[in-house]
Amino acid sequence: MKIYALPFFLLSAGISSLFVPVVMNHSHPTGGINGKQGPDTTIRYQQEMHLRNIRQLTKNGDYAEAYFSFDDSMITFQAKSREWGAECDQIYAFPFINGDMLKQKPQLISNGVGRTTCSYFMPGDKTILYASTRSGGPACPPEPERRADGKYLWPIYNDFDIYIADLSGNIVDTLVKHEGYDAEATVSPDGKMVVFTSDRTGDLELFTCNIDGSNVKQVTSGLGYDGGAFFSPDSRQLVFRASRPQTMEAVKEYKDLLKEGLVAPTNMEIYTCNVDGSELKQITNLGKANWAPFFHPSGKKIIFSSNHAGARGFEFNLYMINTDGSGLERISYDPVFDAFPMFSYDGKKLIFSSNRNNGGTRFTNLFIADWVE
């Protein structure tokens, strides 16, 4: 028996190292190495027909939200790694096509200041946007104390604002800032817009702005946590995950937690809408936590992470679904955790985070694979 801690990251807001302890037997899926029980060392499972030539990019830490540069030559991501001196999530960039992070430390973008999340390349691949609590001080902000009721919660830090840095880590601009939470920003494929999550209305809603931070517009307005949004390949639509409390009890709990700067992330579904908020559609109705969505290169499907099929709530795998809610297909098969998928701009690669091949540790690593239709 090994004790694992599932790194249930703040859904596309990247608050990592918040662990849900679980106890499980995690042996090799074919009965162990050489027929013996032991830690899982699987890189690719036989059922993963859409994934080929999987390559592990990191080790010995918690790595998430890796996103490609516009020319598909680099990635930017967040990491908590003692080997790299990152005690809480920091932002890095690396030219993965001709480099090896298992041998070479990537470029630190966030300078080790505060807690950071949600980095994304800006047009031209010379700068990167990311959210940081640096305005509240250089230290990592405290994580929520374990509650007596045992509820699993995420912190919504008021000091999060969205900055732009060059590839050496120099801050060149503050893109979005207000007295509250601004984070979870991504850039449209046409390079013209940014979408992000903010609590400036008193609720956690999606907003868009121009690439220079001007012309901020509210996109969503339904009560609940709207976040982790990405643009469609044609930059006309958004896909995101949302909680929608329905009962009086659920609404009260959501509002009370939000006043404390907290969110319970256990019930979410995938939604789409136009960039102006029109034609809002609920795509999944699976129950439990469905999150980290990203459009398939065709724009007609969505890949996302879900624990809806798990018996114990911590088994997250990647699934794909048509934009009309039909054709649900399972993509990944790690018995613990697969999440944060992103397709390369040319549609040939998929990068994601997984607990696979961590040798029985708590580590979550980055993996990249050739995508097979």
- Residue position matching structure tokens 């032991």: 38
- Using left for φ > 0, alpha for ψ between -120 and 50, and beta otherwise, residue 369 falls in beta
Q: Where are the alpha helices (DSSP H) in the chain?
A: 248-259
Do 112 and 90 meet the contact criterion of CB atoms below 8 Å apart? yes
Task: Count other Cβ atoms within 10 Å, centred on residue 310.
Answer: 15
| Residue 61 in tokens | 């830490």
- φ, ψ for residue 248, nearest 5 deg: -60, -40
Distance CA 58, CA 71 (A): 22
Tell me what the pLDDT averaged over the chain comes to: 89
Do 302 and 270 meet the contact criterion of CB atoms below 8 Å apart? yes
Question: What confidence score (pLDDT) does residue 248 get?
Answer: 97
| Residue 233 in tokens | 């390949």
Do 91 and 76 meet the contact criterion of CB atoms below 8 Å apart? yes
Question: What confidence score (pLDDT) does residue 288 get?
Answer: 94
Question: What confidence score (pLDDT) does residue 2 get?
Answer: 28
Distance CA 95, CA 104 (A): 11
Amino acid (one-letter) located at 94:
F
Secondary structure class of 45 (helix, strand, coil):
coil
Question: What confidence score (pLDDT) does residue 152 get?
Answer: 80
Q: How far is CA 196 from CA 11, 48, 285, 298, in A?
A: 13, 32, 24, 23
Distance CA 265, CA 323 (A): 23
Domain residue limits, the chain = 2-371
Distance CA 356, CA 56 (A): 9
CATH of region 2-371? 2.120.10.30
Do 359 and 64 meet the contact criterion of CB atoms below 8 Å apart? no
Question: What confidence score (pLDDT) does residue 306 get?
Answer: 98
Tally of helices (H runs) and strands (E runs) in the chain = 1, 28
| CA angle (227, 231, 237) in 5-degree steps | 100
Distance CA 117, CA 125 (A): 18
State the pTM of this model. Answer: 0.90
Residues of 208-221 as b/e, b for ≥16 C-beta within 10 angstroms?
bbebebeebeebbe
Q: What is the DSSP string of 142-206?
A: PPPPPPTT----EE--TT-EEEEEETTS-EEEEEE--SS-EEEEEE-TTSSEEEEEE-TTSS-EE
Q: Residue 304 class from Cβ within 10 Å (0-12 exposed, 13-18 middle, 19+ buried)? A: buried
CA nearest to 228, candidates 290, 179, 283, 274? 290
Q: How far is CA 200 from CA 23, 29, 116, 182, 363, in A?
A: 40, 47, 19, 8, 35
Distance CA 92, CA 167 (A): 9
Helix, strand, coil content of the chain in percent (nearest 5):
5, 45, 55
CA nearest to 91, candidates 128, 61, 56, 58? 128
Q: Which residues of the chain have pLDDT under 70?
A: 1-40
